[in-house]
Every structure is written in structure tokens, then in C-alpha cells.
Amino acid sequence: VVRLSHSLPDFQLNSVNEQDVEHFSKILPKTSILSTLAPISTESSELEPYNTDWMNKYHGKSNTVMRPRTTQEVSEIVKWCHERRIGVVPQGGNTGLVGGGVPVRDEVVLNLGSMNKIRSFDPVSGILVADAGCILESLSEYLAPQNHIMPLDLGAKGSCHIGGNVATNAGGLRLLRYGSLHGSVLGLEVVLPDGTILDQLSVLRKDNTGYDLKQLFIGSEGTLGIITGVSILTAPAPNSSNNVILALPSFDNVKPLFKEAKRQLSEIMSAFEFIDRTAYDLAVKHGQGRALNEGDVEGAECFVLVETSGGNREHDEAKLNGLLESLLEADQPLINTGVLSQSPAQFSQLWAIREGITEAVSKEGKAYKYDISIPLGSFKEVVDTTREHLRSKGVLHDGAVKHVIGYGHVGDGNLHLNIVAEAYTQEIEDALEPFVYELVAKYKGSVSAEHGIGLMKTHALHYSKNATSIDLMRRIKSLFDPHGIMNPGKVLP
């Protein structure tokens, strides 16, 4: 049982009754032979996965899950919920890490998984238009033969939806190169909380005709409407990709290393990811990627994974090799050693170590996940200070916290501080909060760099947004959703 130190949000909405289910069943077609999933589920045995989040930390009690196949169906369902004051939780691949995609109480779940068609792709402009329920990896697979790639990539690619990515403004492993979704999303189709369909599915790179409304939905976590279609700028596939894991004797070397890697690799550097020693050890322990040789790991306090993507293999390899040589031959080397991938299989194995940390952590125990933006130079200090704080509270090791680890997108100033425990307990949560949020505020950082606010951080929003901003957010919410039916209890305190 998870107790949350902050009580569950209070909202007055109606539960689904028999007439509602009857009405929804008329909107949704009967099960088709093409799909094994019924468009509507009301049996408790089928509801569990939709009521439980990826971490098994948040649990809703919805008794109605719907899987519409068209925007029109979404619109009709939402219109009914608006009239009947029934809460609606939009759900994608349910890989979110802040409890945003599962109900708080008995709201209906609208899962977009059956809306998974590609609507168009233009290989000249690279603009892709797809249903919101398309799985990120399926979109990458669709683009590969057309020599394009998605502008984002994350460890959850096999399950998360492009609609969920847009709704959370997911960052991930390619942000350093391709920027955030606020730049690459060109248009959206959204069902508003009263059922109106907002068609802004533009395929234009430039469009300065007044307020850019789509931006409001990017990162709105399902609180302003349901995204049903996405128009996104994809990137040309690089002709050559390489990666290397660098072992560093000290965290202090990360910053100068980043500076040097940027200077030498310049336009071909496409990722610069950080893994501290404990995070690496956990990834290896739980079989993520292939462990580096013992000699390469010895004496390493942390690791950095650098990826290059460019247009000319010889040129790119020369640059990366040049960087490695200069690093190793320096009078005071910033790295102990570097493990360079020699084949596509090794390239994937090195990435698997970094991408597999989330999975490894979840196998090791229950994770308290803090996804923060702070100055790069403070990553280690934050991890160490948190560990010492937990020790002083008597909850480290003997007291149920097993590890305090740091990893993340160094190049974007985004640290994932994870506290891995035997169980979710009030004692640990009380030791962590508001301690961690106050630490972040001290650095004028963000309490959520890329995962969002969801249910987990509504009470912490004020550490990163001032009262005027929160007030404006509230007014925007009530303009779009006056009855508060859309993902109630999420984002806003």
C-alpha cells in the first residue's frame, strides 16, 4: 500500500452508470476480427493494467476503459462525459513515470492504442502525420526504409505512443541534437474537453498567424484535451552513427569533457549521457546491455556515453578517434579509458546499458524518481547530498533505502536522481520531500525536466513556477475545461 504524504486531490465528478456504458457501447463499434482488444472493457479482470502505472506505484479504480478507433468516436465519448460530468483520463502506452496516465478514482480511461495509423509522410520535407496512438518504435521502423528518423528516442520506445510523448513533452536521448517537441511538432488534432475537434494538423514549417495554440497541449499531460493526431518534423537518417562509453576517474571531469567533446565533435555529436557508477553496476547486475571489461571499469567513478551521427563515415570516425586519442594522451587525462563500438550490435549494446537503467532500477526495488534540471556541475553534489541526508534520517541501507543513484541527459542539464528502496514507505517519502525539491529550488532548477507533474508533483509545482504563472495555468485550464473532467487531479495543485 502506498500512502502519499499529500492527500488525494478532491474533485466532484460522477461515476459511470449503466446508461453511460450503454451509450458508450453505441458509440464504439463491436470488436472487430482485426483486433483482439474489445473497444470497451468493464470487467474487473481486464481493467487492472489500465489502472496501474508502469512503476506499480499509482493505482486507480476505473470500471470503464475505452479504446476508440477514430477521432469522431473520441469526440462523441468526451461530449457525453462533459455533459454527464464524468472524469476522463487520456492514456497512451502507460509508460509515464509521474502517475499522470492512470485514474485517481473511477474516471473512465480513454486508451488511444487502437488509433495507430500513419496518415501521411512526405519524404522531401520529412513531415509525418500519424494517429496519436502510434507506438514510437513503430514510427521509427516505418521511417527507416525511407531514410528518416524520429526526432526523439527513449527507453520506453517499444510501448509509448507519439500522443503520450507529445502530451508529456518527452525529452529523451536525442534532444541534444533535434531539440524539444515544442520545435519539431508542427501540428496537432485535439479533442477538447467538451468534445469539439480542434483541427490544427498543420504541415507547415512556418505559420505566424496569431497564438500558437498547439504549444499549450505539448506537455499538458492530458489536462486540456485528448491528442488524436500529430504532425511532426522527422530528420534525415544519419549515414554514419558511432558511440563510445568513456570511463571517468572523477565526476569533476564531466564538465570539461563535455566542453572538449563539443569543441572537437561539434556538429556530429548527437548524445552526451551520464551514468554514475552505482547506476552502471545496477544495469549490469540486471542484464542490461553487455558489461564492459573489468579493466575498463576499474577505478571509474562514472561513465559518459557519447554518440555521433553524421553524413560521412570516414570524417566522423576520424573526429571521434581524434577525440579519444587527445583525451588519452593528455598530461592529465579526463578519462581512464573509452570503449568504442565496432559494429551495429556493439553500438546497440552500449546504448542498452544507458537505456536499461530504468528497467534495472525497477527490478532492483521501488524507485523514488526525481527528474530535475540543475546546473551540470551540481549533479554529483545533489546525489551525494541526498544520500547523506537519507543517512542522517536513518533510512539508508538498514532503513530500507538500497541505493541513491544519478544518471541522465548531461548535455541537457537533466539529472535523474533515483532513490531505490525495498518498498514505497511514508518514512522514506517524508525524508525525501520537500528536501529534494528545496535542493532543486536552491539551484533555481526545475522539479520536472522531462517527465511532467502528473499526480506525483502537483504539490511541488510551486518550487519551479511562481504564483502568477500557476494562476494563469489555472485560468487556461478552466477556459478549456470548465467542468474539470479532463485528467482531474493532475498537474495543477
Residues that bind ligand FAD (CB under 6 A): 54, 89-97, 100-101, 112, 132, 154-156, 160-161, 163-165, 167-168, 170-172, 221-222, 226-227, 358-359, 450-451, 454, 487, 490
Q: Are 308 and 269 in contact (CB under 8 A)?
A: yes
Contact flag: residue 244 with ligand MLT (CB under 6 A):
no
Give the shortest CB-317-to-ligand FAD separation in angstroms: 27
Q: How far apart are CA 433 and CA 460, in angstroms?
A: 9
* Residues paired with 340 in a beta bridge: 244
Task: Please say which residue, 251 or 368, places its beta carbon nearer to ligand MLT.
Answer: 368
Give the shortest CB-394-to-ligand FAD separation in angstroms: 31
Q: Which three cell numbers stand for residue 24?
A: 458508450
Total chain residues near ligand MLT (CB under 6 A)? 7
- Strands of 127-131's sheet in order across: 118-122, 127-131, 226-233, 185-191, 197-200
Contact flag: residue 448 with ligand MLT (CB under 6 A):
no
Kindly write down the DSSP assignment for every residue of 49-87, as one continuous string: HHHB-TTS--B---S-EE--SSHHHHHHHHHHHHHHTB-
Q: How far apart are CA 453 and CA 102, in angstroms?
A: 13
Q: Which helix (H) or strand (E) element contains residue 130?
A: strand 127-131
Give the shortest CB-342-to-ligand FAD separation in angstroms: 26
Task: Please say which residue, 171 or 338, places its beta carbon nearer to ligand FAD.
Answer: 171
Look at residue 168 and give the partner it binds from ligand MLT, ligand FAD, none, a contact being a CB closer than 5 to 8 Å depending on partner kind: ligand FAD
The alpha-helical segments, DSSP class H, found in 152-299 are 162-168, 175-178, 181-184, 214-217, 254-265, 277-285, 294-297
Task: Report phi then psi at 465, rounded to 5.
Answer: -130, 135
Contact flag: residue 305 with ligand MLT (CB under 6 A):
no
- Where in 102-161 is the site for ligand MLT (CB under 6 A)? 155
Kindly write down the DSSP assignment for every residue of 366-381, as one continuous string: EEEEEEEE--GGGHHH
Look at residue 464 and give the partner it binds from ligand MLT, ligand FAD, none, a contact being a CB closer than 5 to 8 Å depending on partner kind: none
Task: Please say which residue, 63 or 95, places its beta carbon nearer to ligand MLT.
Answer: 95
Give the shortest CB-93-to-ligand FAD separation in angstroms: 3
- Where in 404-423 is the site for ligand MLT (CB under 6 A)? 408, 416
Instruction: Count other Cβ atoms within 10 Å, centred on residue 182.
Output: 13
Look at residue 416 and give the partner it binds from ligand FAD, ligand MLT, none, a contact being a CB closer than 5 to 8 Å depending on partner kind: ligand MLT
Contact flag: residue 484 with ligand MLT (CB under 6 A):
no
Give the shortest CB-372-to-ligand MLT separation in angstroms: 10
Task: Kindly give the pairing relationship between strand 226-233 and strand 127-131.
Answer: antiparallel
Give the shortest CB-151-to-ligand FAD separation in angstroms: 13
Task: Please say which residue, 28 or 97, places its beta carbon nearer to ligand MLT.
Answer: 97
Cell numbers 492527500: residue: 7
Task: Report phi then psi at 268, rounded to 5.
Answer: -95, -5
Contact flag: residue 101 with ligand MLT (CB under 6 A):
no
Contact flag: residue 336 with ligand MLT (CB under 6 A):
no
- Where in 342-361 is the site for ligand MLT (CB under 6 A)? 357-358
Interface with ligand MLT (CB under 6 A): 155, 357-358, 369, 371, 408, 416
